[in-house]
Amino acid sequence: MTKDEAREYIVVVNGGSGVLVQTKDVDSTYIFTAKHVIVDESPSVNIKRFQKKHDDWEEILIDLDNFNEGENYFLHPNKDIGIIKVPKIVGF
């Protein structure tokens, strides 16, 4: 995998980093990130992903109507790990 191929899996979460993960869930895509990036900005979140369009990278905002712990984000009780659940990214 090249750096450009990997970039489509990377997201920016509230200025921090995260990675997109597609499971067998047909309705959702997941973002693995650090818990502090979520907690420090809660109750809102700003998520950007990137998609190559021709020779340029397009920035795409991932919009969540609400941001509720236990519903669309999950925090590890002891470690700096968080998971955000977003609507499935088609073609990812």
Report CA Rg, the chain. 13
- Report how far residue 92's alpha carbon sits from residue 87's, in angstroms, rounded to the nearest whole number: 12
Tell me the pTM.
0.89
One digit per residue, the tens of pLDDT, for the chain of length 92 reads 777 778 889 999 999 999 999 999 999 999 999 999 998 766 778 999 998 888 888 999 998 888 889 999 999 999 999 999 999 998 76
24 φ/ψ sector (left φ>0, alpha ψ -120 to 50, else beta): alpha
Contacts of 3 (CB under 8 A, 6+ apart): none
Measured between alpha carbons, how far apart are the two ends of the chain, in Å? 15
Which amino acid, residue 78?
N
